Structure 1
Amino acid sequence: MSESGYYSQALHGPYETEEIGDLVLEEGGTLRGCRLAYATYGRLNAARDNAILVPTWYSGTHKIIEQVLIGPGRALDPERYFILVVNQIGSGLSTSPSNTPAPAGGAYFPKVRIGDDVVAQHRLVTGKFGLERLALVVGGSMGAQQTYEWAVRYPEMVQRAAPIAGTARNTPHDFLFTETLVEAITSDPGFAKGFYASPEDVREGLLRHARIWAVMGWSTEFYQRERHRTLGFSSLDDFILNFMFAYFRVMDPNNLLCMAWKWQRGDVGRLAGGDLRAALGRIRARTCVMPMTSDMFFPPSDCQAEWRLIPDAAFHPIETVDGHLALFGADQAAIAQIDRHLKALLAAPPGG
């Protein structure tokens, strides 16, 4: 793992890594010596029944999960729970295009699916930590996709599930949107089919990518209310340059493409021969589905349609004008709603 630059302990630490062995992928490739980067908070109790797993979202690492969701007095309280945040494959911390040596790194990195992440995480939680049950699996966006995958693939392990701002099967509309993110990067001549020397070579593509996120990641109400000013930016241009572009410009383009590809193809229905109803019907976890009311990626109606197919599930839309990127924590009222619902979920008897 790189210890310098953006993907480093200095910026994202402290975290640990664990090699889980060779991971044979759904698409046929193999990640040799696959490593997962993870952070833990709190301690596993004697009964080993207080473990919470949090998978990460697109571009995010355990650090933002820690900042937004974890803390004393919160639902994810390290004084009560053993919280394990696992960085997804392609995040730049776990095995990724940017840290895999030739010939399999960079543009040659194999295609990874959400299911591959969850199989890898299962190896970690059972092999490294010896866990047989997870009190809760919770994640936002791509973390929600992984949460659904966990609940369907390992129903006997997951006692509670909380997918936030994400769906069990990606929609055609969201697939198309994500394709525009991909094309923003790959259309930059500096991308050089993935054989660039530095993210700086792809700066125009990363700027376009950031602008698209600015359009769809927030909401129309966010801009109508000039929420960017509330966040400390003097103008829209200032916000785009010094928040959105500043966030993405240091990231490795191939890493972003790796995550985007699996985001587009998230679908637990494939675990039941393409039957989404049958797949979601396997869930034994007590489940709380939490869309963001102003989310244009995963609108509440898409999440609600899936919620109806899940046994023992609650549906609690999170009221916010910050759109999908309310996950970043700028709207404290939205985070308070998530916290309240997670506390209620953890207080309820487990599913299964």
Structure 2
Amino acid sequence: MASYYSQEVHGPYHMINIGRLELAEGGVIENCELAVATRGTLNADKSNAILIPTWYSGTSKIMEQVYVGPDHALDPSKYFIVIVNQIGNGLSTSPHNIGGTLGGPNFPKVRISDDVRAQHRLLTEFFGITSLALVVGGSMGAQQTYEWAVRYPDMVKRAAPLAGTACNTEHDFLFTETLEEGITTDPGFRDGRYGTAVDVAVGLRRHAEMWTVMGWSTEFFRLNRHQALGFASADAFVEGFMVPYFAPMDPNNLLAMAWKWQRGDVSLHTGGDKAAALGRIKAKVFVMPFSTDMFFPPSDCLAEQALIPNSAFRPITTVDGHLGLFGTDADAIAQVDLNLRELLALPA
């Protein structure tokens, strides 16, 4: 059986070493490797590049499966699509694969800004890309999308943050804290020095149960959406879908991403002034929250959108909550595609 973090499960992707990455928190990754999946062909003037960053627990594979293809706005026959796995997600340099003294619980603290600087180096030095037709990502991918638009305003022509915010809220910070505690309070976690994910099965199960409560929505269960997905009861959904999803994941990888998620904040560029940071954006922006999202509710996203020049608020209607990002609601993905086609048609 193939290991979870492998080409067999999540490929195809290429490992690209971008060299020494100095981190915002003061640490260093000497040989930072990014797992990169590409679709389509870069045109002669390199103007058709689209960047997709990944979300918490996700890899390039789900982005390809749900959002990329000839029937989607992100069509490889038109665009060169680069999907970069975030640092810590298990494919790129992460706690479980870095080895040496930085492995496991000793992995350095990585911020959203570190991912974006790493991606910028990848695009400019390895692909020769200096202009992005679009940056689009969901959840933590939305955090990276905002960071891109604020940090590199002249490079990003269009941006589409899905189900995520530019500055994480205190409320969401606390949500994420409970996810972390679900893992770390398992005695098998041993301060991050466990043998394998199996040793932390109880903690990963608690983590999955909390994701079930917060990741979907009350409407999802009231309307028996879990039955439409093939599970007779909520318990069966937890046992058959949510627990198996998280069970093979490395706990230290999840915690590295959670720490980063909690501290996503573009206002760090402007001394804590969110309006000033978002005011730097030159891209055309469609802000697309999911209507029943309890992590990144539409009201939080609307408050930020109001501060962004050349932006529009395009909420996605779905009862599937935050995890509608998984593609469980075909109509929600159709709405995303409709918005992305409109955004891509706007002049840069």
- 61, 70, 73: which one pairs with 1:72? 70
Question: How far apart, CA to CA, are the structure 1 residues paired with 2:71 and 2:108?
Answer: 41
Give the equivalent residue in structure 2 for 1:270: 268
Question: How far apart, CA to CA, are the structure 2 residues paired with 1:182 and 1:142?
Answer: 16
Q: Unmatched 5+ residue regions in structure 2?
A: none
- 157, 173, 177: which one pairs with 2:155? 157
TM superposition shift of 1:265: 0.2
Deviations 1:272-292 (A, max 9, x none): 111100000000000000000
Runs ≥4 in structure 1, deviation > 4 angstroms?
none
Give the equivalent residue in structure 1 for 2:19: 21
TM superposition shift of 1:139: 0.2
Question: How far apart, CA to CA, are the structure 2 residues paired with 1:147 and 1:141?
Answer: 10
Give the equivalent residue in structure 2 for 1:132: 130
Question: How far apart, CA to CA, are the structure 1 residues paired with 2:33 and 2:291?
Answer: 36
SS at match of 1:21: coil
Give the equivalent residue in structure 2 for 1:183: 181
Question: How far apart, CA to CA, are the structure 1 residues paired with 2:253 and 2:71?
Answer: 35
Q: Which amino acid aligns with 1:211?
A: E
Q: TM-score, normalised by structure 1?
A: 0.98
Q: Which amino acid aligns with 1:256?
A: L
Give the equivalent residue in structure 1 for 2:120: 122
Aligned-pair RMSD on alpha carbons? 0.8
2:10 corresponds to 1:5: no
Q: Which amino acid aligns with 1:180?
A: T
Question: How far apart, CA to CA, are the structure 2 residues paired with 1:315 and 1:245?
Answer: 34
SS at match of 1:97: coil
Q: Unmatched 5+ residue regions in structure 1?
A: none
2:291 corresponds to 1:293: yes
Q: Which amino acid aligns with 1:171?
A: T
Question: How far apart, CA to CA, are the structure 1 residues paired with 2:235 and 2:335?
Answer: 31
Question: How far apart, CA to CA, are the structure 2 residues paired with 1:120 and 1:234?
Answer: 44
- 311, 314, 321: which one pairs with 1:313? 311
- 192, 195, 198: which one pairs with 2:193? 195
Give the equivalent residue in structure 2 for 1:248: 246
TM superposition shift of 1:236: 1.2
Question: How far apart, CA to CA, are the structure 2 residues paired with 1:294 and 1:224?
Answer: 13
Question: How far apart, CA to CA, are the structure 2 residues paired with 1:110 and 1:156?
Answer: 30
TM superposition shift of 1:237: 1.1
SS at match of 1:98: coil
Deviations 1:126-161 (A, max 9, x none): 010001100000000000000000000000100000
Question: How far apart, CA to CA, are the structure 2 residues paired with 1:278 and 1:21?
Answer: 32
Identity of aligned residues (%): 66
TM superposition shift of 1:242: 1.0
SS at match of 1:139: strand
Q: Which amino acid aligns with 1:59?
A: S
Q: TM-score, normalised by structure 2?
A: 0.99
TM superposition shift of 1:235: 1.4
Q: Which amino acid aligns with 2:214?
A: M
Question: How far apart, CA to CA, are the structure 2 residues paired with 1:177 and 1:280?
Answer: 25
TM superposition shift of 1:4: 4.7
- 80, 85, 88: which one pairs with 2:86? 88
Equivalent runs, 1:224-239 vs 2, <5 Å: 224-239=222-237
Deviations 1:25-61 (A, max 9, x none): 0000001100000100000011210000000000000
TM superposition shift of 1:73: 3.1
Deviations 1:64-83 (A, max 9, x none): 00011000031000000000
Deviations 1:270-318 (A, max 9, x none): 0111110000000000000000000000000000000000000010000
Q: How many residues align?
A: 348
Question: How far apart, CA to CA, are the structure 2 residues paired with 1:332 and 1:74?
Answer: 12
Give the equivalent residue in structure 1 for 2:139: 141
